[in-house]
Amino acid sequence: MSESTYALCDVNSFYVACERLFRPDLQNKPVIVLSNNDGCAIAMCDRSKSLGIKMGAPYFQIQSLVKKHRIECFSSNYGLYGDISQRFNWVLNQFADKVSPYSVDESFLKLDGFNNDLTEYCRTLKDTVNEWLSLPICIGLGPTKTLAKVANHYAKKHKVSTHGVVDLSNTRHREWALRRMRVDQVWGIGRRLSQKLRLHGINSAWELHNAEYKTLQRMFSVNMERTILELRGQPCLAFDELPQPKQSILNSRSFGNTITEYKDLKEALAYHATRCCEKLRLQSSLASSIQLFLYTRDGQHLSKTLTFTEPNDDTSLFLKAIELGLQGIYRKGCHYKKAGVTLLGLVPSKGYQSDIFNKAPQRPELMSSLDSINAKYGQDTIKFGSLGFAKRWAMRCNSRSPRYTSRWSDVIQVK
């Protein structure tokens, strides 16, 4: 076993697992979770897959199957999923000092200095997550992050025989796994890239493992070289315990119904700008400019970018920019189906010296108080009036489950 071992912990059908947490009656029933505006199936349990439901299938196409097999359908409940994800990572931190979240349902662990059986240790971790959170997980182990991904693939594929944990630190086991894995299943090798590799006779992960990495690096990129070396057991990908600050921040949503009124568009954009500013302050950054964009029903894309006199994180300044920008791109009579906001030109807020002659000085204490109150009592407990109250632009979510863990009114009451 190498000096360091990487583990990838992945929750099986995460969105479905979250929905089942507070609904024990769903454990043996087919369940699917729908995308924004209840458009497509984006998550499902194994039972739903066995009934012929494909990932990404539009809801209107599978309605007959849903009705025939009495499949439980849920609208996306991102507030619940995000909270459960934080709890999942908290449990992982009880078992490893170095934890790096990769997505909402996946996290890498770096296990250093363990002399005991890591397979058994990870089975204990798996059982603990199931006992404390009722989340079914699979764990892949390997000397690199890419091999941990490969191991996790087989842990999910053979849940019963492996008890949800696979270790590819052994070279013989590694060869067996890579020979049976298609090259497009390797982490970082997409469909188009795999097609190009097949033209050079590389069809499996094992053939990629044995390829001349310097040649492929010149043909493709340095990332290809890193992938090959990782498959050979040489760590090349950095382990980031803390997420790196984003270079831009985006928030957008499709509308539940097309809208035409200026007021509704302004409210929608104000909502997205507010969410962006919260993320901006959370990563201790300032934004130099803001871009707002609209999509019409007939396919038009309208956008406007406004630059500030200096970087800031004050929500009120972004809301003023939203109104100014919207006046320049709004077209009366158009039917709009989507809106969004992107913050650009991000710089660290720590150590930034603002211009003393600036007419709109920073107000960090006010923004900090706003964030603290909303974090404690719920999103938009205190908000700017620009966000409005009607929300005629809001997404359809007719089957969303309660926010059991993040809204007081939705907490289950036991009588």
In this prediction, residue 399 carries a pLDDT of: 82
Q: Are 34 and 41 in contact (CB under 8 A)?
A: yes
User: Structure pTM?
Assistant: 0.80
Q: Please tell me the CATH superfamily of domain 170-243, with its number.
A: 5' to 3' exonuclease, C-terminal subdomain (1.10.150.20)
Question: What's the angle, vertex CA 305, arms to CA 252 and CA 308, rounded to 5?
Answer: 110
- Residue type at 267 in one-letter notation: E
- Element housing 381 (H / E): none
How many angstroms from the chain centroid is the CA of residue 217? 29
**Which one, of 401, 319, 339, 413, lies nearest residue 26 by Cα?**
401
Return the SS3 of 103: strand
- Alpha carbons 320 and 167: distance in angstroms, whole number: 54
How many angstroms from the chain centroid is the CA of residue 8? 16
Convert the pLDDT of each residue in 348-384 to its tens digit.
Answer: 988 777 766 666 667 888 899 999 998 888 788 888 9
pLDDT at 252 over 50: yes
Q: Rounded to whole angstroms, what are the CA distances from 172 to 66, 176, 201? A: 44, 6, 23
Domain 249-387 has CATH 3.90.1150.10: no
- Answer CATH for 1-167 from 3.30.70.270, 3.40.50.2000, 2.30.42.10, 3.60.110.10: 3.30.70.270
Convert the pLDDT of each residue in 43-93 to its tens digit.
Answer: 999 999 999 899 999 998 999 999 999 999 999 998 899 999 999 999 999
- Alpha carbons 390 and 399: distance in angstroms, whole number: 20
> Is residue 29 packed enough to be buried (19+ CB in 10 Å), middle (13-18) or exposed (0-12)?
middle
How many angstroms from the chain centroid is the CA of residue 334? 32
Convert the pLDDT of each residue in 140-198 to its tens digit.
Answer: 999 999 999 999 999 999 999 999 999 999 999 999 999 999 999 999 898 889 999 99
Return the SS3 of 153: helix
Say how many residues make up the chain. 415
Give Rg (Cα) of the chain.
24
Structure tokens at 50: 């066995």
Q: Give the distance between the most distant pair of CA atoms in the chain.
A: 69
Mean per-residue pLDDT of the chain: 90
Domain ranges across the chain: 1-167, 170-243, 249-387
- Residue type at 98 in one-letter notation: K
| Higher-pLDDT residue of 143, 245 | 143
39-45 LR contacts (CB < 8 Å, sep 24+): 42/15, 42/76, 43/13, 43/14, 43/15, 43/16, 44/13, 44/16, 45/13, 45/16
Burial 364-393 (b: 16+ CB within 10 A, else e): eeebeebbeebeeeeeeeebeebbbeeeeb
CB atoms within 10 A of CB 58: 12
pLDDT at 2 over 60: no
| Higher-pLDDT residue of 36, 274 | 274
pLDDT at 279 over 80: yes
